[in-house]
Structure 1
Amino acid sequence: MTIAHDPMNFLKDVTVRLSIELGSTQLPLRDVMALGEESVIVLDRLTDELLDVQVNGRRIARGEVVVQGGRFGLRIVEMEGHAPLSPSAAPAAADAPAIAAEGML
């Protein structure tokens, strides 16, 4: 009898930093210091663009925002190095596993 053993199994418990990048911008410090309630910061990403999923600062996937149980989540649409899912092949947002976000970036 042969027991299949994954030689990388010991890495599965290593904690990494997963982040979702909504967008970014550059501002002069005077503009940052002038920010207050009701301020709006325009980001470099369009509303219909996929968001970057990063692990320890390296992009591993792209996805779209979903809402599950009153919380933000992210549905993975494409993994780095893989072809994106076609709309017909993508699971519905309610069926897809989502990564719960602790807050907006």
Structure 2
Amino acid sequence: MTFQPRGFDFLKDVDVRLTVELGRTSMTLKDVLGLTEESVVMLDRLTDELLDVMVNGKLIARGEVVAQGDRFGLRIVELAGAEAEETPALPARKSAKGGDA
């Protein structure tokens, strides 16, 4: 008996880690050890910037935080690589004779 999966259907049940990154910062160990319950850590993102959505550390999308009832959620706004599919056509090159190619 031979097993022949169709496409990637056989991978659909594999667990992956989905991470939503709010922002990053660099701190010295001294500053980290000085954090208390009232500390504020400034991140590298502005409040209106999209959040990174990663699967196993690889960026797959960007999104924004939404609230549903008493829980936070994430609305996907753009998929990673979507802008690469919409690359503009290259401009026409001129031939050696000075006309358009």
Using the size of structure 1 for normalisation, the TM-score is: 0.72
Runs (4+) of structure 1 exceeding 6 A deviation are: none
Q: Deviations over 1:7-65 (max 9, x none)?
A: 21000000000000000100011110000011000000000000000000000000000
Structure 1 residue ranges without an equivalent (≥5): 84-105
Aligned-pair identity in percent equals 66
Which residue does the alignment assign to 1:60?
60
Distance 2:22 2:52 in 1: 7
Displacement after TM superposition at 1:81 (Å): 1.4
- Tell me the C-alpha RMSD between the 2 structures: 1.1
Structure 2 residue ranges without an equivalent (≥5): 84-101
Q: Deviations over 1:49-102 (max 9, x none)?
A: 00000000000000000001210110000001114xxxxxxxxxxxxxxxxxxx
Higher relative contact order at CA 8 Å, sep ≥6: structure 1 or structure 2?
1
